[in-house]
């Protein structure tokens, strides 16, 4: 079976100073957490729609720019002198229709790669989803190199983004890493009896932050697909390649709530 990653013949060179990282969807739950905890690691450029609740909060973490993914010219300008694009913006509704998903998840994702290529960005990290492979069910061990198997059109849109990652890595020399992010949940939310996301797919904020940082800092990969889950003791999603290739070392287990669980 084909590998889910491609190593570069020559690693990227180390950089002096901070990398400039552009984050789309920076006022969302994942984006704002990443920005808050990465502000001292990177020179952050934070893209927002402008109407999100956390826009004012994230101004302390980096440059905040209002832009829409449909504005290719505007987004291309945002990519200027950027090393890595962390593309988190999307329509996240698993029950969304094709017409609803098309502007952000298809056209918008395409625009991200076009802009990154035009400005010479080194890498795009694409926020894929466990929904790209969720149709396998809970009885099969799923690895990163297994064929995509989406359960809904939202998952289909994430498969499209993964394919763009590979195309741009192979044909346009833009390194691409796709992360199949599971359920992004704090331990407080896991204690909520109304929470219905299976614990087997959970990734905590600090584990996802670590995974994203390792993807930004990696110098060897031209392309990869990784599955983004915490160190959950009962799971059918294999994360061994992320451990091996990135040094990902998740510290949380969604089936065990630690005493310092307010994270």
Q: Helix or strand or coil: residue 55?
A: helix
d(CA 178, CA 84): 13
Q: 3-state class of 87 per DSSP?
A: strand
Strands 43-48 and 221-228: unpaired
- For residue 8, the SS3 value is coil
Residue positions counted in the chain:
263
User: What is the number of alpha carbons within 13 Å of residue 112 lying toward its C-beta?
Assistant: 34
Q: Which of 5, 42, 61, 154 is an active site residue?
A: 154
Q: How many helices (H) and strands (E) does the chain have?
A: 9, 10
- Bridge pairing between strands 183-184 and 202-203: parallel
Asked if residues 87 and 109 have their Cβ atoms less than 8 Å apart, the reply is yes
Compute the C-alpha angle 109/114/117, nearest 5°: 125
Rg from Cα positions in the chain: 17
Q: What DSSP character marks residue 199?
A: G
- Nearest CA to 242 among 143, 137, 96? 143
Residue 145 in tokens? 């190199």
Is residue 154 part of the annotated active site? The answer reads yes
CA–CA distance, 64 with 42 (Å, rounded to integer): 14
Residue matched to tokens 């949940």: 185
Catalytically active residues, by annotation: 154
């Amino acid at each position: 079976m084909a590998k889910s990653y491609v190593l570069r013949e020559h690693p990227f060179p180390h950089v002096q100073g901070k990398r400039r990282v552009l984050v789309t969807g920076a006022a969302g739950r994942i984006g704002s957490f990443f920005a808050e905890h990465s502000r001292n690691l990177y020179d952050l450029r934070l893209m927002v729609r402008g109407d999100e609740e956390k826009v004012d909060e994230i101004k302390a973490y980096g440059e905040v720019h209002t832009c829409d993914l449909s504005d290719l010219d505007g987004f291309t300008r945002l990519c200027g002198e950027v090393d890595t694009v962390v593309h988190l913006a999307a329509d996240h509704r698993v029950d969304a229709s094709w017409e609803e998903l098309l502007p952000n998840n298809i056209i918008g994702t395409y625009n991200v790669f076009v802009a990154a290529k035009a400005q010479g960005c080194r890498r795009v990290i694409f926020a894929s989803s466990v929904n790209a492979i969720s149709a396998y069910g809970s009885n099969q061990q799923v690895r990163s190199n297994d064929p995509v198997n989406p359960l809904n059109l939202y998952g289909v849109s994430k498969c499209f983004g993964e394919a763009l990652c590979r195309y741009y890595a192979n044909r346009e020399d833009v390194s691409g890493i796709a992360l199949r992010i599971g359920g992004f949940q704090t331990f407080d939310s896991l204690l909520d009896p109304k929470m219905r996301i299976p614990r087997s797919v959970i990734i905590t904020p600090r584990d996802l932050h670590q995974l994203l940082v390792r993807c930004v800092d990696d110098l060897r990969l031209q392309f990869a697909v990784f599955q983004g889950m915490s160190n959950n003791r009962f799971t059918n999603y294999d994360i061994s390649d992320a451990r091996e290739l990135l040094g990902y070392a998740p510290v949380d287990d969604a089936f065990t709530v630690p005493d310092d669980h307010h994270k």
